[in-house]
Amino acid sequence: LWSANYAMPAFERGYLNAYALMTDVSGNARSTSVGLMLTFPLGDRRYAMTTAERRDGQWGGRAEIRQDAPADTGIGYRVAASQGIYNRREAELGWRTRHGVFTAQAVHESQGVSGRLLASGGVGYADGMAFASRWIDNGFAVVTVPDSPGIGVYRENQPAAVTNKDGRALVT
């Protein structure tokens, strides 16, 4: 139905976010939440966050630390714990490659432990070249630099591919 949010710098490097919202839950029922979230950057793609929230008369808290995977290739992770409104522990590990994104997740709640493995990617064929890639949700290009292996190819000023032994590279 409505929401309000205010954010400001806090403690030299952190950010404090205050919020309030009211939502329709089901039928005529409404849920109201107010809370504070404190976020601290811890380095390249890594940060810690803690939240205190009051929802429909009940207090809850959450703490999370995460490192996002690089845009190109690499590993990312997330570990979180909630108490009060929700009592749960979460862990996630993600691996981003040029051929797909792979994720393992685990959750512990009062009902037990659950987990899942996720994989996403794409398969394509262009200009006589079959390839496996990350999920393709836009266009892609085959770059050819005849007889020139090892040439870096950039997309939006970021490394995107390297030409193979035939001087060809796929940019997704």
Cα–Cα distance list, 2 to 19, 34, 37, 95, 128 (Å): 11, 12, 19, 37, 53
Structure tokens at 160: 């995107």
Quote the pLDDT of residue 105: 98
Cα–Cα distance list, 138 to 2, 79, 119, 122, 171 (Å): 34, 31, 19, 11, 11
Question: Counting runs of H as helices and runs of E as strands, what totals does the chain give?
Answer: 0, 15
pTM: 0.76
Each of the 172 residues of the chain gets a pLDDT tens digit; together they read 899 999 999 988 999 999 999 988 777 788 899 999 999 999 989 999 999 999 988 999 999 999 999 888 899 999 999 999 889 999 999 999 988 999 999 999 989 999 999 999 988 888 787 888 888 888 788 899 998 999 999 988 888 889 999 898 888 7
From CA 97, how far away is CA 71, in angstroms rounded? 10
The answer to whether 9 and 3 have CB atoms below 8 angstroms apart is: no
Between strands 100-109 and 112-120, the pairing is: antiparallel
Quote the pLDDT of residue 172: 78
